[in-house]
Chain A
């Protein structure tokens, strides 16, 4: 799209690391081959994903305009960059920032790229990456060259590869850490990037590093590979290593990682990762994407067998000097301060800065220095702000900053006396907002704004909640201020709703014959202790009523909490049933369309919410009532299963969750076959024949994944449930019920249902 692409290629010739230059040249050739039809679109799609070039909403050339789905008139040559992905349609470029470390020069380049190729905005993701949106595929090699010139790669930012390695933004300066994880994260990144043993996965692998076990920074429990710093004394000498966990992950069905080794010596960090990559590449699921993450292999084998296989593989690995080479220089590259340590001067009654000092500034382990968190609304910032940050870094530090998984920045090594000046400098460019990491600092995935899988507008909801909270945030009780709110546009959990105090994920429902964006309210997750536990959905509420729901939940907590009771403990004590009851009326009495059409739209999107031209429903009363009644029952049952689980009744919980799936399946079978009995076998067979074999239940992206959860639950129905299997059955039942709702909505749109 840019005419200057060849200029950049010439200008940067010889200035890039040779390997990166060669890889980008190769990608450029692949683009040309695809354009000429000489490279298969499926292969090209995976190629570009592994280079970080991702699809965006509407890139299939279709867009619903509020009345009908229309074709976007892209070029007539109909070239594609993947199945059903139009060549000229804007896409997203994900840029890897290992452990979030970024310097002023890199910030300036990011600013230039955001301005020249994107929409002027750089977006920080929940994996410490950057994303640029609305990028033309033809411009991507130039962007990659400009990034490579400042040592940044997009390689393996997407696709079935080892993704960005995340890490504590406070590494090296945190009072609680065992040691600085930075050089280890860097070593693992360099070792695995493009490693031949890490190219054969069925799905992505996400590693992370944490300096301690008690805080949330690394979120090790929700990663495929999680490394938490540990030390031990051997013969009077301190030895460094990691508590190494594997097989965690969020996504549709979240898994807590399992301990692989309580103390993995650092000499073993790289070879063990390599052995795991080999085992996962060889034995991990390849065909069924929904079962292809490492967590499923760990679950299927159990941690003991998994460990046995990995250790056997480790024993066979030919020695690689890189495994330990990095250790000789491990402490040589430690960040240094620019200024001497100092004390914070007295600040007389300046409320704004005092508030900011309280919420955004933390003392470092090194006396006289602090870290400063720069809160980015929804993870976004402008090119001008990026340049100003580069200036601030150069003025006050030796020049590195970290992105965070909460979509913020952490500036380190600020000498305390400089804090007022830093505050002024940040405020001058709109980056001095207080409230970092509190209830105002809401994390949201891209959702329906740009993500192809988005169901509801996560960013729209987050923006609305921010707007509402902004007015009163600092008047709220401190326990409310300290809550974490996270929003995902769908069940895939990119907004990490499972580990929020209060999480939301997008679903849709039919109300009065119209589709209405909803969010499932997820409670009970734990951000601390490295994402110590996951929340579960309790009720789906229309998007426009979520702000009221949040108010109710927080009011309830404030009124009824016991002294020093955390939100998570409160939810446990009060019980989800009570909270659900408190919110129940928000699911009732939806306004008629004529009375309030905005109820039927999403936040800050005036289009009637839908993916097709539904129009007003022509309800045949009886049948709709029967279907809705049964589905309400199914939802109730899956909720009750959660309560059983909370009461440590795993068997009852699992059975109830399975029964809820049967209920939902029967509800939709009955729409085509009234006489289906209550016999489980019959329901499964009828469902399979009418909805699975016909692909009616298939999700446009996930295919038959959710129906397969049902079949699997049926096959295992006679087996005893453990706490873990019951939990998974509940999660899967929830998703299966959502799939039935979605199927019902699709059938209505396509006129396959009379109801």
Chain B
């Protein structure tokens, strides 16, 4: 099963200490400074929508957003363009892109929030129902790739995968690692 359009959400650790309006400013600056890989196009402000996508940074290959879905803040990366390689490669690219953005936000907001992202928990999702319908069959078919990716990423096997079985939902699962991971490392050397 070839998985594409991987979507990652890195959760904010603890309460959100930053006024979400600040992300509008930061995302505009990222566009100007080409701060992330790929083409960054525009900022969309959805703070008025309860439990919505918050503030979005629209890109060509992928979108980033400071997301409030499920009433939980986090940085989401949504890969839109198809990628070659293996499923693991595609998971890695998405986690790397999200981690880079998280790391940059932590640095930018160090003196203001501060804002910190969880080092134990994140969510993965395949944003395509035709490729990955949210069924137990999809989970069985993908589980080996997911586990292999996570053990390589985290450097251990001590993690849990919690699959959301709602058939209307996207194929989505949250990951909890028993040990802390190094966000900076996820943001830097994943391609090696």
Contact = CB atoms under 8 A, between A and B. Distances in A.
Interface of A: 1-4, 7-8, 11, 57-58, 63, 65-67, 72-74, 88-90, 108, 111-112, 115-116, 119-121, 133-134, 136, 377-378, 380-382, 384-385, 387, 429-431, 449-450, 459-460, 463, 466, 604-607
A74 B51 CA distance: 32
Given A2-B5, A66-B32, A121-B46, A72 B170 contact: no
Given A1-B81, A90-B41, A607-B28, A119 B58 contact: yes
B96 interface: no
Contacts of A63: 31, 41-42
Interface string B27-65: 010011000000101111111111111001010100101
Contact of B80 (A1, A57, A120, A606): A1
Q: Which of B25, B52, B58, B65 has the most CB of A within 10 A?
A: B52
Given A121-B52, A378-B48, A466-B48, A11 B69 contact: no
Contacts of A4: 4, 128, 130-131
A115 B172 CA distance: 13
B127 to A, nearest CB: 6
Given A72-B39, A112-B129, A136-B80, A606 B24 contact: yes
Given A449-B44, A606-B25, A3 B4 contact: yes
A605 B58 CA distance: 15
B168 A387 contact: yes
B41 A382 contact: no
Given A459-B45, A605-B43, 14 more contacts: A3-B131, A63-B42, A65-B32, A90-B41, A116-B128, A119-B53, A119-B56, A121-B53, A387-B168, A430-B50, A463-B45, A604-B24, A604-B45, A605-B28
A120 B51 CA distance: 11
Nearest to A387: B168
A382 B63 contact: no
B89 interface: no
Q: Which 6 A-B pairs have the closest CB atoms?
A: A430-B50, A4-B130, A7-B130, A377-B48, A65-B32, A120-B53
B57 to A, nearest CB: 10
Contact of A66 (B28, B65, B69): B28
A66 B43 CA distance: 13
Interface of B: 2, 4-5, 21, 24-25, 28, 31-32, 39, 41-53, 56, 58, 60, 63, 65, 69, 80-82, 127-131, 168, 170
Contact of A121 (B5, B49, B80): B49
Nearest to B26: A606
6 contacts: A63-B31, A72-B39, A90-B58, A112-B129, A380-B52, A381-B49
A710 to B, nearest CB: 36
Contact of A377 (B5, B49, B65): B49
Given A463-B48, A466-B48, A3 B82 contact: yes
A119 B58 CA distance: 8
Contacts of A89: 41
B63 A74 contact: no
A573 to B, nearest CB: 36
Nearest to A380: B49
Given A378-B48, A380-B52, A466-B48, A605 B24 contact: yes
Nearest to A56: B42
Q: Which of B4, B5, B50, B51 has the most CB of A within 10 A?
A: B50
A109 to B, nearest CB: 11
A116 B56 CA distance: 15
Given A119-B53, A606-B28, A8 B41 contact: no
A121 B45 CA distance: 11
* Chain B facing A: main interface SS: loop
Nearest to A10: B130
Contacts of B24: 604-606
A115 B53 contact: no
Given A65-B31, A66-B32, A72-B39, A120 B48 contact: no
A116 B128 CA distance: 6
A4 B50 CA distance: 30
A537 B187 CA distance: 53
Given A4-B131, A119-B58, A382 B52 contact: yes
Nearest to B48: A377
A459 B49 CA distance: 13
Contacts of A450: 44
Contacts of A382: 49, 51-53, 69
Contacts of B131: 3-4, 7
A4 B2 CA distance: 10
Given A65-B32, A66-B28, A382-B49, A72 B41 contact: yes
A382 to B, nearest CB: 5
Contacts of B170: 115-116
A93 to B, nearest CB: 15
Given A65-B32, A380-B46, A607-B28, A119 B63 contact: yes
A339 B135 CA distance: 34
Contacts of A119: 44, 46, 53, 56, 58, 63, 65
Contacts of B25: 606
Contacts of A606: 24-25, 28
Nearest to B81: A1
Nearest to A11: B130
Nearest to B125: A115
Q: Which of A66, A90, A111 has the most CB of B within 10 A?
A: A90
A377 B49 CA distance: 7
Contact of A58 (B21, B42, B45, B47): B42
A58 B51 CA distance: 28
Nearest to B63: A119
B171 to A, nearest CB: 12
A606 to B, nearest CB: 5
A125 B5 CA distance: 29
A148 B53 CA distance: 27
Nearest to B170: A115
Contacts of B42: 57-58, 63
A65 B40 CA distance: 11
A430 B45 CA distance: 17
A121 B69 CA distance: 11
Contacts of A133: 44
B139 to A, nearest CB: 18
Q: Which of B43, B65, B127, B130 has the most CB of A within 10 A?
A: B130
Nearest to A607: B28
Q: Which of A3, A384, A459, A460 has the most CB of B within 10 A?
A: A3
Given A121-B53, A606-B25, A8 B45 contact: no
A88 B127 CA distance: 20
B34 to A, nearest CB: 9
